[in-house]
Amino acid sequence: MFEIFSTLGFGWSVGLVLAVLFVLAYEFINGFHDTANAVATVIYTNAMPANLAVVSSAIFNFAGVFIGGLGVAYAIVHLLPVDSLLGMDSTQGLLMVFSLLFSAIVWNLGTWYFGIPASSSHTLIGSILGVGGAFAWVHGNPILQGINVGKATQIMLSLIISPTIGFVIAGLFLLVLKWIWPKHKIHRTPTEQVAINSKKHPPFWARVGLIASAMGVSFTHGSNDGQKGIGLVMLALICMAPAYFALDMNSQSYDLQRTQDANRRIMAIYDRNQALIGDLVDFKSDVISSEDLFSHCSANTVLPSMALLDKRLTNVTSYKDMSVAERREIRRLLLCIDDTARKVAKLDLPKKERESLAKWRKDLVKTTEYAPLWVIIAVATALGCGTLVGWRRIVYTVGEKIGSSSMTYGQGIAAQATAAVSIGVASVTGMPVSTTHILSSAVAGTMVANRSGLQSQTVKQILLAWALTLPITMLLSGCVFVLANALFG
């Protein structure tokens, strides 16, 4: 791995190291900014001592990053359209990474300082959209051309819908608990528990439920938010050192054959469904120019791209045997072919063909959508360490300032279990969601179900942060990129 630095030279090596460190700093801040939500109820209800809860949460966050996969990581990367990823040189890639991280870190620190449960996911996504739009504007293109509008819309819908679902399900969960055990000790607040029997801790089963659900939130937070950090690191590495990271250099001969086979099978699907996809794919196109290959993805020329990929992978046993230019070409071909396959999958294909296309797409991008083990370890460590500090401000807000009355044990269990399941489902499906907003809305849902009411001032602050995060981070990251590009581009 260290031969990378001798190839890049001193200046680019420093830039690459700083870019990775900035991502890890973002994940560290994310740890104490977002993960405080994961332990807020378990600390507030005295189910666990604060220090033990935070350390346990850090461990579960670390585990979540390791086991969570990479679906969310590359959902973040693909917020930038394929054409931007192809046309971006190393300098602009570096400036984009620093600009979006600067914006995300500034906003996260600001909202944490004031104890407002703002979303790191919104922050990161807004920052990426801002630099993507600024990149297009700098190159004289419409701002929306620098944003993958389809992917951005999909993610934004997820970010909007998930808190609403959390609010409703957590409220219903609490009502079920009250219906099954109407007068159980689970419905006491910590203050009431002390006043009635002088016990500081919750009843045994309530304590078990609180601890289990809190660790569930921590694990799923790691699997979702940790992947965002992995995606950022990979974006930086691919932009600045494509010779080593454009493709998975540890791929074996079998992996390349698997990619080639997937490419051929997707071509066969297209051939069988010419009548359905003829308006999107040009079946008569037989020429692909170098300009199209290196700067623009076109569904009309996808078949020549697929034929070229098949030719390049024939009789090749390792990416290490290829030149740097060939590796970059292979990555561009794979990105463009997958981009078209994603569009074809939205057409009215027979169900069996859609399922086959989804399967072969996963095999097609196996050697491009990856992450080295050291990246996963670094991000997991940064997120876990960040969890160990800075949690007090958010814990107080979640426990005392959302509802008009204190939180009961049952409310804590309902809110945390809802958040853990919601975030876990999102991670499995590859969708970035906000731990902060899901848990905060789940707590609010239990307050309404418990007829406790909500503190309007806190709710207004959370909603205001939710509404302002995207536009502010988009504007901030975009402006920073334009300024940096003027000075160093």
pLDDT at 443: 83
In angstroms, the CA 329 to CA 275 distance is: 30
End-to-end CA distance of the chain: 28
Same domain, 76 and 186: yes
Same domain, 214 and 183: yes
Same domain, 96 and 25: yes
Report the C-alpha gap between 468 and 458 in whole angstroms: 15
Q: Are residues 44 and 150 in the same domain?
A: yes
Q: Does residue 59 fall inside a structural domain? A: yes
Are 361 and 341 contacting, i.e. CB atoms less than 8 angstroms apart? yes
Give the whole-angstrom CA distance, residue 202 versus residue 67.
31
Under DSSP, the state recorded for 321 is: G
Position 261 scores a pLDDT of: 96
Q: What is the pLDDT of residues 43-93, one digit of tens each?
A: 777 888 877 888 888 888 888 888 877 887 787 777 776 656 655 666 777
Asked if residue 2 belongs to a domain, the reply is no
Instruction: Return the pLDDT at 7.
Output: 67
Q: Is the pLDDT score of 34 beyond 70? A: no
Establish if 276 belongs to a structural domain: yes
Average pLDDT over residues 235-256: 84
60/217 Cα distance (integer angstroms):
9
Residue 131 CA to its chain's centroid (Å): 17
Residue 149: enclosing H or E segment and its boundaries? helix 149-180
pLDDT digits (tens, 9 = 90+) for 96-118: 888 888 898 888 888 777 766 66
Closest C-alpha among 485, 399, 478 to residue 443: 399
Q: What is the pLDDT of residues 248-307, one digit of tens each?
A: 988 999 999 999 999 999 999 999 999 888 888 888 766 655 555 555 677 788 888 899
pLDDT tens-digit readout, 119-129: 777 888 888 88
Per-residue pLDDT at 401 exceeds 70? no
Residue 238: per-residue pLDDT: 79
Find the mean pLDDT for residues 149-173. 83
Residues 264 and 237 in one domain: no
Are 168 and 128 in a shared domain? yes
How much is the pTM?
A: 0.81
Paired residues of 454 in beta bridges = 403
The structure tokens listed for 454 are 């909500």
Helix axes 204-240, 10-44, angle to 10 degrees: 170
- Write out the two tokens for 300: 């009309």
- The identity of residue 182, as a single letter, is P
Residue ranges in 319-391 assigned as alpha helix (H): 324-344, 351-364, 373-387
Is 4 inside a domain boundary?
no
283 and 214 part of one domain: no
Considering the domain architecture, whether residues 222 and 302 belong to the same structural domain is answered as no
- What's the CA gap between 15 and 308, in Å, rounded? 34
pLDDT at 262: 95
Domain boundary among 364, 387, 403: 364
Following DSSP, what letter does each residue of 243-258 receive, concatenated?
Answer: HHHSS-TT--HHHHHH
Q: Are residues 229 and 119 in the same domain?
A: yes
Domain boundary among 335, 364, 393: 364
Give CA–CA dist 471/127, Å, rounded: 9
pLDDT band per the 50, 70, 90 thresholds, residue 35? low
Which two structure tokens, joined as six digits, stand for 397? Answer: 């807000």
Question: Residue 165 corresponds to which tokens in the numbers above?
Answer: 């679902």
Report the percent of the chain where pLDDT is more than 70.
87
pLDDT of 44 reads 75
CA 149 to chain centre: 16
Q: What would the DSSP string read from start to end of 416-471?
A: HHHHHHHHHHHHHTT----HHHHHHHHHHHHHHHTT--B-HHHHHHHHHHHHHHHH
Look at residue 5 and tell me if it is in a domain: no
Residue 479's nearest CA partner among 79, 122, 134, 19 is: 134
- Contacts of residue 48, defined as CB under 8 A and 6 or more positions apart, other chains included, come to 39, 42, 56, 210, 211, 214
Is 3 domain-assigned?
A: no
* DSSP state for residue 406 in the 8-state scheme: P
Res 22: pLDDT: 86
**Can you tell me the distance from the alpha carbon of 452 to that of 401, in angstroms, rounded to the nearest whole number?**
12
Where is the domain boundary, 329, 364, 399? 364
- Give the total number of structural domains in the chain: 2
Looking at the chain, the whole-number percentage of residues with pLDDT higher than 90 is 13
Is a pLDDT exceeding 60 seen at residue 1? no
Residue 91 in any domain: the answer is yes
- H or E, element range at 443: helix 435-449
Same domain, 391 and 314: no
Which of these, 45, 40, 157, lies nearest to 439 by C-alpha position? 40
Backbone dihedral angles phi then psi of residue 241, each to the nearest 5 degrees: -140, 60
For the chain, give percent helix, strand, coil, nearest 5. 80, 0, 20
Q: Are residues 25 and 137 in the same domain?
A: yes
Closest among 469, 459, 437 to 34, alpha carbons compared = 437
The pLDDT, as a whole number, for residue 480 is 92
The parent domain of residue 261 ranges over 251-364
Domain for residue 261, yes or no? yes
CA distance 201 to 190: 8
Task: Count how many Cα atoms sit within 13 Å of the Cα of residue 450 in the half-sphere of its side chain.
Answer: 31
DSSP 186-230: GG--HHHHHHHH---SPPHHHHHHHHHHHHHHHHHHHHHHHHHHH
One domain, residues 340 and 377: no
